[in-house]
Amino acid sequence: MVVRTAWLASLVVAAAAQSCPSAIDGSITTLGGDGSLVLKDLGVEFAVTLDANKTEGFTVSVTGDAIGNKLAIEGTEVSGILKFKEATRRSPEADAPGRSKKCEPEFPCYGRATIVVSDPTGMCEDATWDFTPMVHMRHAPLVPLVVSATLGPITRDPIITLVVSGWLTRCMLVGDGWLASLRYLDTDLLETLRGSYSSIFLFAIMISGVTGGAIKSGGAKAIGQAIGRLVRNSFLAQVAVYAAGFVFFIDDYSNTVIVGSTLRVITDTMRLSREKLSFLVDCTASPIASVMPLSTWIGYEVSLIKDEIERIGYDREAAYTLFIMSIVYRFYSWFMLIFVAGIIVLGRDFGPMYFAEKRARETGVLAVGDADKADLVPEDLKPDPKKPMRVFNAAVPFSLFILLFFPLLFYSGAKQASWGGVGWNVGSRTIIGNADSWQTLYWTCGMILVTQIVMYAVQYSKKWGGCLLEPGQSITAFIAGTGTMYSGMVALIVAFAFAENIKELLIADYLVDALGDSIEVQTLPAITFCLCAVYAFATGTSWGTMAVFFQPALALAVYIYRDKGDKPDKDLDTQRFTDIIVRTIAAILGGATWGDHCSFVSDTTILSATSSGCPLWSHYLTQMPYALISGAMSILFGFLPGGAGAPPVLCIFIGVIVQPLLILCMSSIPGVGGTVPVYGPGVGLVDGGVTANFLTLSKASDVDTEDAVAVKLEVVEKQPVDDDDEVAFVDDNAKEGEGP
């Protein structure tokens, strides 16, 4: 099988009817030229244009360390495929006097291919060209991926994992450890900050600043308290956490920090286990942010889509349009949200989560293990308790994000796009397709920040000692808010550097060569999902996974659609190919979200556990069975039928039916799961289940919930219950006979 690598050579041979030059006049330019990387036994296309009066009878051959396949001359075009058999030279200068021609075991090793164009009549001398690339073993692109997949669970640190993997990849590219270290520091990391990724960092800073202002003003806490006033038992506590995830949809980091920290006091009162809280927080972070048309994910994904569709030469739909079209195909996110809703409504759990929930309800032990109870909100962002906390101080900024973005997106496409507007006299789809989404996101965030500064300053009272927030305090809150993104941004920088390096190592070419002939259009989304899921699980980064896999996944899509088979369809700008890449894009994001959701080293997994006060290992163990089931369901009832052409809405509807049935089956297995009791401060424990959940609403209606929350059942550290030095966080007000 052959992989297209965009290696187009321009070869000039001046040939007249009566005379020919004795050598090639000019040079051949290639992607990288001499010293560039090729993989052993992996086909590399070349194309040569001859400038000659006659080419009839000319022949082309290849000598040296490569063999030529499909060599042909049509008119003045010479084409073929090179496959390097061996790397026989230690360096490109191996033929120089005194240099060894033997390829040593250590890299780099080089091969030489000589392309020969001959005139059998003898009128023209042979024209030759030598190409001397670095030759790696065919499976070399897998080495950094295997290393990162191995280091992730060992180090439990995505930054260390990605730095080592990125350096190793650069080392393989340049063939020298010392030079690799220098290039990694002065080129790879620097180019990440200079290039298109800088747009992502700027938007992340701006949106985290907006969130910081909402927290400092007390608005975020007021929303949590407003939700808490509606909570009367453990069933409604779960509903509240689930709903809060949709309120703070803009960013998964902010979502985990705000929801976990704000609602923990309420869920503790209702004896919801910390494991369940962290699960709900985690499941309403990335899955929700990934399916919302407005979030910190949008600009990043659109930029990746834009780069890849330009690379493959597709221009039927704009990147933003493809992004919107892919949302309904993001089956893992939809299936996980459906699964969580089913668990809550049915009042059932299974696996480790069932036993954690039973423990919390019946004994008041909210968490077992070394739980981190630290408050994740920085001191600079904590609201002044002397000043009022009003819901609209957070609701207005978040609402403006929705209200401003779409009108400004149309304005960008019609008038202000950096590449020129198309005017208002065209269709809305054309305007949106021409819009600059990054530009629009910057405008939106800037307007929201100005609104926050003014809105917080005009709320003035002498009782508070002045403004709710003075302009300087709002700016300070903005800066403090960006601090929540620092660790994530460092991880993104090294992830992007690794992604660019692994692309240079021809990971796309390798995957097309290894998988292209065995994958059909119908199975491409499911296989893409699995590849991305495994990688994200090992490395703990969803965005890094997307950066690595967008190029090879879309290269596979192009190969399967255009190059595979006897009668390939050469036109990419068709509805059929659009459907293929939309499903592939959705599968990349779905797999990245699943792996990030399940990984022990994922930043959102760690943040969810920490903000919820749950031991990380407990969160990991209780969440994993649920994520595995949702992932399997998304493959069986989402990506496979969706890849075969089934309507995505039908796939999601099937998930709505099948997942609750699966929950009922799994929770009915003795010793595995069951119904979890419902607890309310005013009524104590009552039987759980879907019917009981709703019946308990009336039983708890006479409870003064504000008083219940005010006399919150504090979570304290107690001495180890067993001899294993575990620490139990318990409900001090647990009824006699129910405590540990």
Report how far residue 466's alpha carbon sits from residue 219's, in angstroms, rounded to the nearest whole number: 18
Distance CA 454, CA 76 (A): 69
For residue 375, the model assigns a pLDDT of 52
- Chain centroid to CA 619: how far? 21
pLDDT above 70 (res 371): no
What is each CA distance from 259 to 135, 237, 252, 369, in whole angstroms? 52, 12, 10, 22
Amino acid in position 295:
S
Which one is predicted more confidently, 301 or 667? Answer: 667
The pTM score is: 0.69
Q: What is the pLDDT of residue 9?
A: 39
How would you classify the pairing of strands 460-461 and 66-74? unpaired
- Return the pLDDT at 18: 38
Asked if residue 439 has pLDDT above 50, the reply is: yes
Give yes or no for residue 26 having a pLDDT over 50.
no
Q: 649 falls in which pLDDT band (50, 70, 90)?
A: very high
What would the pLDDT profile of 176-196 be if each residue is shown by its tens digit? 788 889 989 988 888 877 766
Closest CA to 277 of 659, 32, 654, 614: 614
User: Is the pLDDT score of 709 beyond 60?
Assistant: no
**Partners of 74 in beta bridges:** 77
* Helices 158-174, 524-539: inter-axial angle, 10-degree rounding: 110
498: tokens are 């690794």
Neighbour count for residue 679 (Cβ, 10 Å): 27
pLDDT band at 369 (very low <50, low <70, confident <90, very high): low
**pLDDT recorded at residue 451:** 94
For residues 589-600, one letter each, b for 16 or more C-beta atoms within 10 angstroms of the residue's C-beta and e for the rest, the string is bbbbbbbbbbbb
CA-derived radius of gyration, the chain: 30
548 close to 499: Cβ distance less than 8 angstroms: yes
173 strand-pairing partners: none
Burial class (CB in 10 A: 0-12, 13-18, 19+), 383: buried
- Give the number of other Cβ atoms within 10 Å of residue 443's Cβ: 18
CA dihedral sign of residues 173, 135, 502, 146: negative
Residue 97 has a pLDDT of 45
Q: From CA 680, how far away is CA 230, in angstroms rounded?
A: 12
pLDDT of amino acid 301:
83
Please indicate whether residue 718 or residue 537 has the higher confidence score (pLDDT).
537
The Cα-based distances of 210 to 207, 262, 376, 452 in angstroms read 5, 18, 17, 8
> CA–CA distance from 395 to each of 222, 252, 275, 328, 403 (Å)?
10, 17, 29, 27, 12
| CA pair distance 251, 288, nearest whole angstrom | 9
d(CA 365, CA 271): 8
Q: Spelled out in words, what is the top-level CATH class assigned to the domain 2-136?
A: mainly beta
Give the mean model confidence (pLDDT) for residues 312-320. Answer: 84
Most confident of 99-103, 137-141, 430-434: 137-141
* SS3 of residue 108 by DSSP: coil
How far is residue 566's CA from residue 582's CA, in Å, rounded to a whole number? Answer: 25
How far apart, in whole angstroms, are the C-alpha atoms of residue 216 and residue 221? 9
In which element (H, E) is residue 242 found? helix 234-247
List the domain boundaries for the chain: 2-136, 159-364+381-388+465-672
Confidence at residue 706, expressed as pLDDT on a 0 to 100 scale = 46
* Mean pLDDT value of segment 60-75: 83
Q: At what angle are helices 542-558 and 486-504 packed, to 10 degrees?
A: 30
- pLDDT(491) > 70: yes
Q: Is the pLDDT of residue 683 over 50?
A: yes
Alpha carbon distance 662, 335 (integer Å): 12
Q: What is the mean pLDDT of residues 561-583?
A: 76
Statement: residue 599 has pLDDT above 80: no
Q: What is the pLDDT of residues 270-294, one digit of tens each?
A: 889 999 999 998 888 888 877 877 6
Residue 332, pLDDT > 90, answer yes
Query: What is the average per-residue pLDDT within 506-535?
Result: 83
Axis crossing angle, helix 274-283 with helix 234-247, rounded to the nearest 10 = 30
C-alpha span between 64 and 306 (Å, rounded): 40
**CA atoms of 37 and 652, how far apart (whole Å):** 44
pLDDT at 350 over 90: yes
Q: What gap in Å lies between CA 629 and CA 633, rounded to an integer?
A: 6
Q: 């996110």: which residue's tokens?
A: 333
Structure tokens at 120: 């059998």
Please name the residues in contact with 325: beta carbons below 8 A apart, sequence gap of 6 or more.
317, 578, 582
Give the per-residue pLDDT at 228: 67
CA 26 to chain centroid, in Å, comes to 45
Per-residue pLDDT averaged across 61-71, rounded?
85
- H or E element: which one contains 71? strand 66-74
In whole angstroms, give the CA distance from residue 676 to residue 575: 49
What distance in Å separates the CA atoms of residue 133 and residue 415, rounded to the nearest whole number? Answer: 48
Residue 389 near residue 225 (C-beta atoms within 8 A): yes
Consecutive H or E run containing 47: strand 43-49
The residue type at 218: G
pLDDT band at 54 (very low <50, low <70, confident <90, very high): low
**Element containing residue 303 per DSSP (H, E):** helix 296-312
Task: Bin 156: left if φ > 0, else alpha if -120 < ψ < 50, else beta.
Answer: left
Q: Please state, in angstroms and rounded to a whole number, the distance separating the CA atoms of residues 140 and 47.
A: 26
CA distance 328 to 117: 53
Kindly report the average pLDDT of the chain as a whole number: 77
Both tokens of residue 311?
């690379």
DSSP 369: S
Structure confidence at residue 107 (pLDDT): 53
**pLDDT surpasses 60 at 456:** yes
Q: Which is nearest to 494 in space by CA: 159, 168, 736?
A: 159
Higher pLDDT, 342 or 418: 342
Mean pLDDT of 506-534: 83
Residue 484 has pLDDT above 80, yes or no: no
- As to burial, measured by CB atoms within 10 angstroms (0-12 exposed, 13-18 middle, 19+ buried), residue 256 is buried
Instruction: Please state the rounded mean pLDDT for residues 589-598.
Output: 86
CB atoms within 10 A of CB 516: 18
Kindly list the strands in the beta sheet with 127-131, ordered across the sheet, starting from the edge strand earlier in the chain.
59-64, 113-118, 127-131
| Residue at 523: amino acid letter | T
31-46 confidence digits (pLDDT tens): 445 667 788 887 777 7
